[in-house]
Amino acid sequence: MIEIFYKSKGQVLPSNEMALLNDLGWDDVLWIDLFEPTGEEKRSVEDFLETTLQSRAQAEEIESSSRYSETETTIFANTNFLIPGPDDYSMETVSFIISESILVTIRQVPLRTFTDMQRRVQLASKLYPTGYHILVAILENRIDLDADMIELMSKEIAQFSKRVSVGENVNEEFLLDINQLQENTMLVRENVIDKQRMISAILKSDKFPRDVHTKLTVVLKDISSLLNHTNFSFERLEYLQNTVLGLINLDQNKIMKILTFVSLLFMPPTLISGIFGMNVNLPLLGNMSDFFIVLGVMLVSVLVASFLFRKRKML
């Protein structure tokens, strides 16, 4: 699907008519958003801008030269957008191409950032005179959303910590949830670093207007604080994981302690029963009271063993 934002009588209007590009000039078009574009739509944009758009495989490469590059007339930039799911997060690559001050975006999934930006461009067109300004605004909006996700993750980590503090039973599922939070935290950090690389490359460029550099510098500071926050969250998760493992080990030690105590407790009776069960002549044998005498000796041995364990604080 193609969405063209063009200038008309002091306003910015949207259109999904691909044929409109034949009637517009470079000065008329502000932004072309390609969502799951067809081959025909991509070729139409390429003919209009007289440039070549990147393929999905090129956009997903991780090399610095693939994330940001420039030619004499065109800027190519690629970055990942984090998509939260019910349990885990996924990343989707978005491509940005700027040619003749026209921004072209290529994406394969619906993104809230683009929906918000499309509305803002139409309502306050004077704030976004060129595609450069729209790109910077998209990055600002996206960093704000990333900050919201990090905040939600911090609240979730706090809830897990509270569950451990109140003595809630921890098990394998609890550890798996913590591990999933760690994976999400690493994805968020990777996503924010990717934005940092892209913005740093933009600040080195001479093609971007000077008035956007101040905003980008502020965004970089925000990114730095987000990275510190994600590092703290990851360390907190590691501490929480170690605490949970320690509690599990304590529970296992208690179980082993009880089993060991029971085994030691019944060793004297077992020894006594073994002795009197031997097929030889033994004292105290010869009448019906012998059974109760042996039983009493076994009981006394259990009580003595229990008393000694408690006296030495081994229980």
- In which order are the strands placed within the sheet that holds 68-70? 11-15, 2-8, 29-35, 102-107, 89-99, 74-84, 68-70
Rg of the chain's alpha carbons, rounded to an integer? Answer: 35
DSSP state, residue 60: T
Kindly report, residue by residue over 196-235, the tens digit of the pLDDT.
Answer: 888 888 888 888 888 888 888 888 888 888 888 888 888 8
Kindly report, residue by residue over 42-97, the tens digit of the pLDDT.
Answer: 888 888 888 877 766 665 665 544 678 888 888 888 888 888 777 677 788 888 99
Least confident piece of the model among 80-94, 181-195, 246-260, 287-301: 287-301
Please give the domain boundaries of the chain with CATH numbers for all domains: 2-248 (3.30.460.20), 266-311 (1.20.58)
Position 278 pLDDT exceeds 50: yes
Q: What is the structure's pLDDT at 249?
A: 76
Kindly report, residue by residue over 132-183, the tens digit of the pLDDT.
Answer: 899 989 988 888 888 888 888 888 888 878 877 776 777 777 778 878 888 8
Token readout for 93 is: 């690559």
Confidence of residue 284 (pLDDT cuts 50, 70, 90): low
DSSP state, residue 72: S
pLDDT cut 70: percent of the chain above it: 84
Taking each helix axis from N to C end, the angle separating 213-265 and 172-203, rounded to the nearest 10 degrees, works out to 160
Rounded Cα distance between 312 and 315, Å, is: 8
Position 122 pLDDT exceeds 50: yes
- Counting other chains too, the contacts that 50-57 makes at CB distance below 8 Å and 24 or more residues apart are 50/99, 51/97, 51/99, 53/95, 53/97, 53/104, 53/106, 54/78, 54/95, 54/97, 54/106, 56/93, 56/108
Higher pLDDT, 7 or 165: 7
Rounded Cα distance between 315 and 28, Å, is: 84
DSSP state, residue 53: P
SS (H, E, C) 169-192: CCCHHHHHHHHHHHHHHHHHHHHH
Torsions phi, psi of 129, nearest 5?
Answer: -75, -25
0.85 surpassed by pTM: no
H or E stretch at 70 = strand 68-70
Tell me the C-alpha to C-alpha distance, in Å, between residue 253 and each of 257, 262, 273: 6, 14, 30
Rounded Cα distance between 155 and 145, Å, is: 15
How would you classify residue 17: left for phi > 0, otherwise alpha for psi between -120 and 50, otherwise beta? beta
Rounded Cα distance between 108 and 240, Å, is: 37
Rounded Cα distance between 306 and 315, Å, is: 9
The answer to whether the beta carbons of residues 177 and 160 sit under 8 Å apart is: yes
DSSP class per residue in 220-287? HHHHHHHHHHHHHHHHHHHHHHHHHHHHHHHHHHHHHHHHHHHHHHTHHHHHHHHHHTSSS--TT-SS
Please state the separation of Cα 270 from the chain's center in Å.
57
